[in-house]
Amino acid sequence: MRLPLFPLDTVLFPGCILDLQLFEARYLDMISRCLKADHGFGVVRILQGLEVGPAATAFAGIGCEAVIRDWQQQPNGLLGIRVDGQRRFDIERTEVQADQLIVADVRWRPEPDDAPLDDGHADLVMLLEALRQHPMVRSLGMNDAVGGRRALADQLAYLLPFQPEHKIELLQLEDVDLRLQRIQTLLERLQGD
């Protein structure tokens, strides 16, 4: 599958929401094509380069499909879009087009069935509920009840202030229980700092 990429200084996770403001012609054109064809684009974490200007020279080899949920013209004249994180993917090959838009051949990662939460996840669920009280998180509308371990892991990984390399690592982990264990370890490190 060919997917246009939007390299950013963030890591998007499935089931999470991201607001973007667009002004570069390559991304405005990309969004127009995505809306017309009813498909998403890929969000990948920049490793080298900038969000604006020439195409990023290095980015993570894993990303998350972003599907446009809403869009509107902002008071500042920019196009604002809200996207939902959907499927994870691995990048197999990339090409930089003349307008500096990066297009990639991607392989979708299979998503394992979600396992139900149990009493052992109560502390992490309470932490997620506390994070959702922050005005920035509330404004994203990520208030639906978490029904399983995968959603809990993805939302915590997205919202917690982990280093980008740790977020990429969490996005790559297939086993949801391992992902939750790794989040717990990273939380303990944050509390120790």
**106 in Cβ contact with 1 (< 8 Å):** yes
Reported as a single tens digit per residue, the pLDDT across 99-157 is 989 999 999 999 878 899 999 999 999 999 999 999 988 888 887 778 899 999 999 99
- Cα–Cα distance between 81 and 71 in angstroms, integer? 4
CB atoms within 10 A of CB 108: 13
Give percent of the chain above pLDDT 90: 67
Of the candidate CATH numbers 3.40.50, 1.10.30, 1.10.286, 1.20.58, the domain formed by 119-192 belongs to 1.20.58
Residue 60 reports pLDDT greater than 90: yes
Q: Where are the domains of the chain?
A: 2-108, 119-192
- Cα–Cα distance between 9 and 144 in angstroms, integer? 26
Lowest average pLDDT, out of 20-24, 40-44, 89-93, 189-193, goes to: 189-193
**165 in Cβ contact with 153 (< 8 Å):** no
* pTM for this model (two decimals): 0.92
- Cα–Cα distance between 88 and 101 in angstroms, integer? 20
**Domain 2-108 in CATH: superfamily?**
LON domain-like (2.30.130.40)
Average pLDDT of the chain to the nearest whole number: 91
What is the pLDDT, as a whole number, of residue 193?
A: 61
